[in-house]
Amino acid sequence: VYQQIRDRLQHLITSGALVPGDRLPSIRSLAQSLQVNKLTVMEAYDLLTAAGLVTARQGSGYFVDLLSPTPASLTSRFSPTQDVVLWETQGSPFFRYYSQYVQAQYQAGFIDLSCAYPQQLPDNLSRITRRVAGLNESLHHYDLAQGLPRLRQQIASFLVQIGLEVSPEHLMVTTGSMQGLSLVLRYFLQPGDWVVVESPTFSGMLAILEQLQVRIIGIPMDANGMNLELLAQYLHSHRPKLIYTISTLHNPTGITTSLSHRQALIQLAQHYKCPILEDNVYEGLHADPAPPPLKSLDANVFYVGSFSKTLQPGLRVGYIAVPSQHFPALLEQKLLQDLHSPTLPQAIVGEYLATGHYRRHLQRLRTMLKCHRNAMLQALSTYFPADARWTMPAGGMFLWVQLPNRFAGVLAAVHQQAVDAKILYTEGSLCFPARQGYPAIRLSFGNESPDLMEKGVAGLGEILARLAPPSTNAAD
C-alpha cells in the first residue's frame, strides 16, 4: 500500500501536477482520506524523501523538493551518431590527466566538475576506522590473497540485494577495482588481440589496454547502451578476446542499460564464446533498483566492483566476482602482484558494512546525488547552448554533454579557458578510443554544492558561447 501511495505521488510530481514547493497533504489527513495507518503514509513519504522528490520541513510538513526536475528537464535528447573506432596506436593521455587532476585537488578555489567520487564523508567511518585500527592485532599479519573472509561475506550479502548471487568463495578483494580490471585483462589478453569497449568509455581502461598493446574496437554508445548490431558485426569479423562493458551508470555517459539490452548482449557473447568483463563500480549509486548485473544472467561474466565511489577512493578496496573455473589461476596472479590487498582498509569496510552504516550511507548519498543531478540539469538548460544534448542518468555522479559540431575545432581552447576560470571538467576526447569522437564533455555533480555547480555551469556556458556562438548556417 505504501508503495502505491509513493507511486501515485511520484506520478503527480513527475507529471507536473505537483510542482516544486507545493505542500503535500499532512500524514494524518492523507491517512484518514485513504483509510490507512499513519505509518503507511509515513513510509511512502520516507521513500519520496529518499528519492529526492520531497523534503520534510520541521514543523511545517512535507513539500515537493525545490530541486525536483521539471518534466521537460527529465527528457534526455542524447542521440549521437558515430562510427566504430579501430585503434592500434600508442600514447595514452591518461597519466597526464590523472596527475593534473590530483594536483588540482590540492589547489584552492577550483569549481570541480570533474571529480569521480562523491565528497560526502560517510558518517561514522572515522569512528569505525579508529576502533578497527586499535583493536585488531590479527590485521598486522600476512593474510589470504583473496581477502578477509568477513569482508567477502559482507560483499556477497550486498550483491544479493542487487540481484547477484555469488559465493564469498568466488570473490576476490583487490587493491581498488583498477587492480581487478588489470588482473582480468592480463589474464585474457596478448599483444595484438582485439578487445571490445564502448565508445566512449572509462579512460583508465583505455590506458591499461594501451599498455598491453592490444587492439581496440570501440563500439558506439547510443541512448540505450552499446550498439548491439555493430557489436554483432565486429564479433563476427574480428573475433575479439574480451568485451569490456559498464552496464550500470556507465562512465562517462551515466547510462544504465535495460534488462533486454543485457540479455541480448549476453546472447551475443555466448554465441561468439567471448568473455565479458563487467565494471559496475557505480552500482550502489543507482537511484532506483537497476536491472540485475550481466553476471546474474551468465555466471561466466567477470564482475568488478569497488568502494571507491561509495565510501572513499583512498581506502583502495575493490573486488572481483570471478567465474569458479578461473578463480585459482586469477588468485595466483593476484598473489604474485601484491600477496594481498592491505588488511586494515578491508577490515574497516567489512565492519562498516556489517554494522548497517553502509546501507544508510548509500541511501543518503543517493538522495544527495539526485538533488545535485537535478540542479545540474536545471543549470544546463539555463546556461548551455540550446543545441547541446545531454544524458539523464538514473543516479551516479556524471552526465555527458554532446556538443554541436561547431565545437570540434575549439575544444582545447574551451578547456584552457575553463582552467583559467578555475573550472574543472573532463574532456570528452579522453574517453574515446584514439580520441576519435564527437565534441563532448563529462560533468560531475558529485562534488560541489548546487550553488557552486550552477556557477561552474554558467561559467562554462559563457566560454562555449564566446568560442563558438551558434551559427545561422543550418549545416552546423
Ligand X SMILES: Cc1ncc(COP(=O)(O)O)c(C=O)c1O
CB atoms within 10 A of CB 451: 9
Does 290 participate in binding ligand X (rule CB under 6 A)? no
CB of 328 to ligand X, least distance (A): 24
Q: For residues 300 and 275, is the Cβ–Cβ distance under 8 A?
A: yes
CB of 197 to ligand X, least distance (A): 11
* Interface stretch with ligand X, choices 143-151, 171-179, 448-456, 457-465 (CB under 6 A): 171-179
220 vs 302: CA distance, rounded Å: 22
Interface with ligand X (CB under 6 A), residue total 14
| Cβ closest to ligand X, residue 55 vs residue 253 | 253
Q: Which of 313, 342, 450, 461 binds ligand X (CB under 6 A)?
A: 313
CB–CB of 321/180 below 8 Å? Answer: no
**Strand pairing report for 398-402 and 85-87:** unpaired
Task: Tell me: cis bond preceding 433? Omega within 30 of 0 counts.
Answer: no
Per-residue x/- mask for ligand X, residues 180 to 219, rule CB under 6 A? Answer: ----------------------x-x---------------
The CA distance from 117 to 274, in Å, is 31
- Whose Cβ is closer to ligand X: residue 99's or residue 405's? 99
The yes or no reply on residue 176 touching ligand X (CB under 6 A) is yes
Q: For residue 154, state whether it binds ligand X (rule: CB under 6 A).
A: no
Q: What angle do CA 189, 190, 194 make, to 5 degrees?
A: 70
Could you give the C-alpha distances from 109 to 102, 150, 408, 420, 444, in angstroms and in order? 14, 41, 29, 11, 17
Question: C-alpha cell of 318?
Answer: 575493490
How far from the centroid of its chain's Cα atoms is residue 85's Cα? 23
Per CB under 6 A, the segment of 56-64, 175-183, 206-214, 428-436 that binds ligand X is 175-183
The reply to whether 45 sits near ligand X by the rule CB under 6 A is: no
Q: Pseudo-torsion of CA 389, 393, 396, 400, nearest 10°?
A: -20
Phi, psi of 62 (to 5 degrees): -110, 140
Cβ 262 vs Cβ 170: under 8 Å:
no
| Near ligand X by CB under 6 A: residue from 9, 132, 178, 226 | 178
CA distance 169 to 447: 36
Q: Which CB sits closer to ligand X, 13 or 320?
A: 320
- Specify the 3-state DSSP secondary structure of 224: coil
Q: Looking at residues 78 to 117 of the shown chain, list those that interact with ligand X (rule: CB under 6 A).
A: 116
* Smaller CB separation from ligand X, 318 or 456: 318
Q: Which stretch binds ligand X (CB under 6 A): 5-13, 99-107, 176-184, 413-421?
A: 176-184
Place of cell 562555449: 464
The region of 127-135, 174-182, 230-238, 334-342 touching ligand X under the rule CB under 6 A is 174-182
Paired residues of 160 in beta bridges: none
Q: Tell me the closest approach of the beta carbon of residue 181 to ligand X, in angstroms.
A: 6
Residue nearest to ligand X (CB): 176
* CB of residue 15 to ligand X, shortest distance in Å: 34
Q: How far is the CB of 277 from ligand X (least distance, A)?
A: 10
Written as one letter, the residue type at 128 is: I
Decide: 142 and 342 in contact? Cβ < 8 Å: no
Q: Where in 242-261 is the site for ligand X (CB under 6 A)?
A: 246, 251
SS3 343: helix
Identified binder of ligand X from the candidate list 40, 146, 177, 341, rule CB under 6 A: 177
Instruction: Indicate whether 281 belongs to the interface with ligand X (CB under 6 A).
Output: yes
**Where in 114-153 is the site for ligand X (CB under 6 A)?**
116
* Of residues 16, 14, 81, the one with CA closest to residue 52: 14
Q: How far is the CB of 316 from ligand X (least distance, A)?
A: 7
- The footprint of ligand X (CB under 6 A) covers 116, 176-178, 202, 204, 246, 251, 279, 281, 306, 308, 313, 318
